[in-house]
Structure 1
């Protein structure tokens, strides 16, 4: 129950006291009561606007997550099918995305339904992509994460086919995502997969220079960058892929594990480059 009498009551007492009591005090009390009531109205209006804004913000977050989920599996199905029969690696990647999202049985069924719908190349999915663009607005980091998932799906079989690239560029155009950004994601994702594979397999040997080059590619920079440029690139990528920031922008919380996996690779690549440069400096 709201204390609708509190403002007027305080106003009456303050008005009466300031007017010095007596007849003037009564007039002051009336004026104070009116001002107190106006104050209550303003407070209630402010609270109402805050609660309305909070509800709208929560709804926007839910809308973004729903659009992200829908387009992710629609487009994974489209990419898997566009270059011919779907390969086992492409199915495995889609299942891995589902596992990383920790989907419930019902959500998995919805994801499979969307994937199957995306496989039908005759179905137009431009409305869904437009909806994703509209819901995300200027949240470019969400669209970046979305395209990274699709690129890794296209690279699941170890190669980027011409038709897959055509579909990716079409999707990018539909959500106003620049092709240059997409090209950078492809290069970074290729290096990311190789770098992660190399660091997850114990006992394997690789050319240190080749591994170092992959680390630079994961950070999307050239080996000639300065230490300051290296640090800036690292911080920029960590900021783009920080799980908490992505969730605050609307990324489904179930996809946090995928974001963490990316940040771990970014951090490992950065440390490898730093260690190499430190060794060179010590040797010199």
Structure 2
């Protein structure tokens, strides 16, 4: 195992201040390696991009957007905060990650925070998660029932950035409104790993490339925009929306299990 920042700290410190500088540089570098989870040089560019904001983390952008969405309601309520906590649990964030997510949520409420710039970068770099992010934003926007004019304006602008059509937005709105009213049971979040694999039609230990192909193929088959163009009814569109949500949840579960992006 090679700790890249540790090595860089030793070399830089030695060059500047000899042996004492090398020791100090190594200690500081090792602390950064452990903080960022770096174990090899190949991981440095991605971490540097995240640190500079050039490669934003999904969870960071998600909670920035959720904070902005909650603020668009007029004021942030206990219901907004409770949903934020539920989403932290859904993504299995540990305590340091929860604190970071709440800090991002609070930054998202500030007008000076460049939420949409981060959103654009994320949507370009992780296109497969665009619908997942917007779905959580719709959920936040509907915490108190019908979205306000400011909330809807944000959702429509962000959907355009994410490349989501009106049918997909309508599906998200209908699903979360039904969940709030209790007229339909909440959508299953994918169950265990075997169930997630069954949803995608792959083996639990399939190669990442095979899992990605299955995910994209199923998304294309059930996408509401495609079905709307084919003349599907409202009930068929709603059912397709539910299936897309199951597919996305199953894909995220397998992706976390296999450890790929």
TM-score normalized with structure 2 length? 0.53
Aligned mate of 1:193, from 155, 172, 180 = 180
Alignment of 1:51-66 (within 5 A): none
1:146 to partner: Cα distance: 1.3
Mapped contact 1:82–1:163 kept (Cα < 8 A): yes
- Aligned equivalent of 2:141: 154
- Aligned equivalent of 2:64: 74
Mapped contact 1:87–1:157 kept (Cα < 8 A): no
1:114 aligns with 2:104: yes
Give the structure with the higher percent helix: 1
Aligned-residue Cα RMSD (Å) equals 3.8
3-state SS of 1:80 partner: helix
CA distance in 1, matches of 2:157, 2:81: 22
Mapped contact 2:131–2:162 kept (Cα < 8 A): no
CA distance in 2, matches of 1:84, 1:233: 30
- Aligned equivalent of 1:87: 77
State how many pairs are aligned. Answer: 168
CA distance in 1, matches of 2:238, 2:173: 17
Mapped contact 1:73–1:115 kept (Cα < 8 A): yes
- Aligned equivalent of 2:250: 244
1:66 to partner: Cα distance: 5.7
Which digits, 9 at most, give the CA deviation of each residue in 1:164-188, with x for residues without a partner? 1111112222222224421331122
1:240 to partner: Cα distance: 4.5
Which digits, 9 at most, give the CA deviation of each residue in 1:34-72, with x for residues without a partner? xxxxxxxxxxxxxxxxxxxxx89xx7xxx8x96321111
TM-score normalized with structure 1 length? 0.49
Gaps of 5+ in 2: 1-41, 187-223
Aligned mate of 1:132, from 122, 125, 129 = 122
CA distance in 1, matches of 2:185, 2:120: 38
CA distance in 2, matches of 1:241, 1:145: 11
CA distance in 1, matches of 2:96, 2:82: 19
1:160 to partner: Cα distance: 1.1
1:199 to partner: Cα distance: 5.2
3-state SS of 2:114 partner: coil
